[in-house]
Amino acid sequence: MSNFVIVGAGECGARAAFALRDKGFEGTITLIGSETHLPYERPPLSKDALVAGAGPKFVAEPERYIEAGIDLLLGRTVSGIDRIAKSVVMADGTVAPYDKLLLATGARPRALSGTIHGGRIATLRSHNDATRIRAHLVEGSHVAILGAGFIGLELAASARRLGATVTLVEGLPRVLSRGVPAEIAEIVTKRHLAEGVEILCGAKVARVEELAGEVRILLDDGRVVSANLLVVGIGAVPNTELAQAAGLTVENGIAVDGLLRTSDPDIFAAGDCTSYPLPLYGDRRVRLESWRNAQEQGQLAAANMLGGVEAHAAVPWFWSDQYDMTLQIAGLADGAVTTVRREMGEEAFILFHLDAEGRLIAASGIGPGTAVARDIRLAEMLIAARAHPDPAALVANHVKLKSLLAA
Ligand code: FAD
């Protein structure tokens, strides 16, 4: 009987384990994860669940692992891969042999150099991090957030909902500089300012000091931000050390081909830890940190571990919720030469990004609730179809995007 081992019991690893069974795999499935919680969803950690102080939202209830015959080893860290013996070894010395191995080790927050995280300096990746941060999000407390990316901004919105004072410190000239158009970043900034968030852009941190009862962020222009807690949200780094030590190719993530195979044909990798070629964008190698990508790649890796030959071709997609606003981005906009705007009703719009040949390569939208969701979904289909829609039709909101798809 075959042994399949999955390292990393997050979104991607858990989805892969269930997909193996759904696709009829009858061998042993061992899912190993460092965290002690059952696999859970990370997006709520900075959003509603943080505000509510809720427990983890599990990918699946415990009985489903038993029903599916998945051996779930939690609180166990894999410390090495022996590619010759085809086994993984855990930190406690336990060895698990594999016929096929999936690395779904995810990513971890980038640390702020020169600081020791713990005490009054935190990052947000796990349920335990969220619990620790939430203890500080009370009226009268002041939280400083370093980095105005998605996690920093979502955390700022949640902190305001809980009554904490918030200062956002961003080194670049504006919020959301990575992959989000300035027009959308402007709406986001205005809303945070209206909600009472202090935003300091172009602010370079010279030093961070932890004192009794406070943390002080000294900026290089002499300004000082004093807070009860500093949350560092300056991006994530992929967990590639295991792969690297095993001699697998690593290139901004564990490098895989379109089928999610690493440089060892018996080892696959998927989710946040992985970089892969995207055919839609000329096989450009990308690494996504996105919930849907982790799900889709987990499922695809399972199919290909069973001998499938389907290449990953999904359009990248990401969403973020802040206050009552939802932002959605489909595709990659950085090769765009033309951007046109479709109004979607009050305070909602979508930007369509086209390349030099007029091909739709990305769409970014923002609005209250689900205002842009349906049309972003249709835009995603146009992107996948490599459509060259008429920009005037994209702007005219009486023209249904569905009709462009049919064309
Ligand atoms: P992870 O979820 O990181 O899981 C990897 C697991 O592997 C971890 O549990 C880790 O402990 C474990 N592991 C690592 N190394 C080892 C080892 N050696 N041995 C054993 N176990 C190991 N995406 C969106 O699209 N929209 C959102 O709004 C959004 N919000 C987010 C909010 C927050 C606060 C965070 C942190 C992420 C958010 N994301 C969002 C991103 C999304 O959650 C991730 O893309 C997704 O969780 C990636 O899943 P993964 O399984 O690849 O990695």
CA distance linking residue 171 with residue 390, whole number of Å: 38
**Helix, strand, coil % (nearest 5) of the chain?**
25, 30, 40
What is the dihedral sign for C-alpha 175, 55, 20, 8? positive
Residue ID of nearest Cα to ligand 1 atom 18? 78
Centre a 10 Å sphere on the Cβ of residue 360 and count the other Cβ atoms it contains: 27
* Residue at 313 is within a domain: no
Query: Among the three residues 232, 258, 293, which one is the final residue of a domain in this structure?
Result: 232
147 shares a domain with 198: yes
Q: Is the dihedral of CA 116, 119, 121, 123 positive or negative?
A: positive
* CATH code assigned at 359: 3.30.390.30
Q: Is residue 317 part of a domain?
A: no
Ligand 1 close to Cβ of residue 367 (< 6 A): no
Closest ligand 1 atom to 297 CA: 52
Domain count, the chain: 3
Which residue owns the Cα nearest ligand 1 atom 30? Answer: 43
Query: How large is the greatest C-alpha to C-alpha distance in the chain, in angstroms?
Result: 65
Q: Count how many residues are written for the chain.
A: 407
Residue whose structure tokens are 């981005």 = 329
Mapping DSSP to helix (H, G, I), strand (E, B) and coil, where does residue 71 land? Answer: strand
**Domain annotation covers residue 203:** yes
Residue in 7, 11, 145, 242 to alter for ligand 1 test, most ligand atoms within 8 A of Cβ = 11
CB 168 within 8 A of CB 200: yes
Residue of the nearest CA to atom 27 in ligand 1?
43
300 falls within a domain: yes
318 lines ligand 1 (CB under 6 A): yes
Distance 107 CA to ligand 1 centre (A): 6
Give the per-residue SS3 of 243-293. HHHCCCCECCCEECCCCCECCCCCEEECHHHEEEEEHHHCCEEECCCCHHH
In the block, tokens 């005037």 appear at 392
DSSP per-residue letters across 202-259: TPPEEEEEEETTEEEEEETTS-EEEESEEEE-S-EEE--HHHHHTT--BSSSEE--TT
Give the integer Cα–Cα distance in Å for 9 and 106: 9
Handedness of CA 37, 38, 42, 44 (dihedral sign): negative
Q: Dig out the tokens for 284 from the structure.
A: 């450009």
| Residue 108, φ and ψ in degrees, nearest 5 | -130, 155
Annotate 89-114 with b (16+ C-beta within 10 A) or e (fewer): ebeeeeebebebbbbbbbbebeebee
Bridge partners (DSSP) listed for residue 353: 339, 362
Domain match, 263 and 328 both: no
Which pLDDT value is given to residue 113? 83
Q: Are residues 247 and 294 in the same domain?
A: yes
Identify the domain containing residue 187 by its residue range. 111-232
Quick one: DSSP state of residue 46? G
Q: Parallel, antiparallel, or unpaired for β 78-82 and 142-146? A: unpaired
Query: What's the pLDDT score for residue 204?
Result: 94
CATH number for position 252: 3.50.50.60
At which of 257, 276, 305 does a domain end? Answer: 305
pLDDT at position 346 is 82
Q: How far apart are CA 167 and CA 322, in angstroms?
A: 16
pTM, two decimal places: 0.97
Q: Specify if 259 maps to a domain.
A: yes
Kindly give the distance from the C-alpha atom of residue 402 to the centroid of ligand 1, in angstroms, as a whole number.
34
Q: At what angle do helices 291-305 and 11-22 cross, to 10 degrees?
A: 40
pLDDT in tens, the chain (407 residues): 899 999 999 999 999 999 999 999 999 999 999 999 999 999 999 999 999 999 999 999 999 999 999 999 999 999 999 999 999 999 999 999 999 999 999 999 999 987 777 789 999 999 999 999 999 999 999 999 999 999 999 999 999 999 999 999 999 999 999 889 999 999 999 999 999 999 999 999 999 999 888 999 999 999 999 999 999 999 999 999 999 999 999 999 999 999 999 999 999 999 999 999 999 999 999 999 999 999 999 999 999 999 999 999 999 999 999 999 999 999 999 999 999 999 998 889 999 999 999 999 999 999 999 999 999 999 999 999 999 999 999 999 999 999 998 87
Is any ligand 1 atom within 6 A of the Cβ of residue 37? no
Residue 208 has φ and ψ, to the nearest 5°, of: -125, 130
Q: Are the beta carbons of 244 and 267 closer than 8 angstroms?
A: no
List the residue whose alpha carbon is closest to atom 31 of ligand 1. Answer: 43
Query: Helix or strand or coil: residue 113?
Result: coil
Cβ count near 119 (within 10 Å) = 11
pLDDT of res. 407: 78
Atom of ligand 1 nearest to the CA of 79: 18
- Domain annotation covers residue 115: yes
Q: Is residue 52 part of a domain?
A: yes
* Rounded Cα distance, 207 and 200, in Å: 16
Residues 86 and 188 both lie in one domain? no
Check pocket membership of 133 for ligand 1, CB cut-off 6 A: no
Same domain? For 121 and 190 the reply is yes
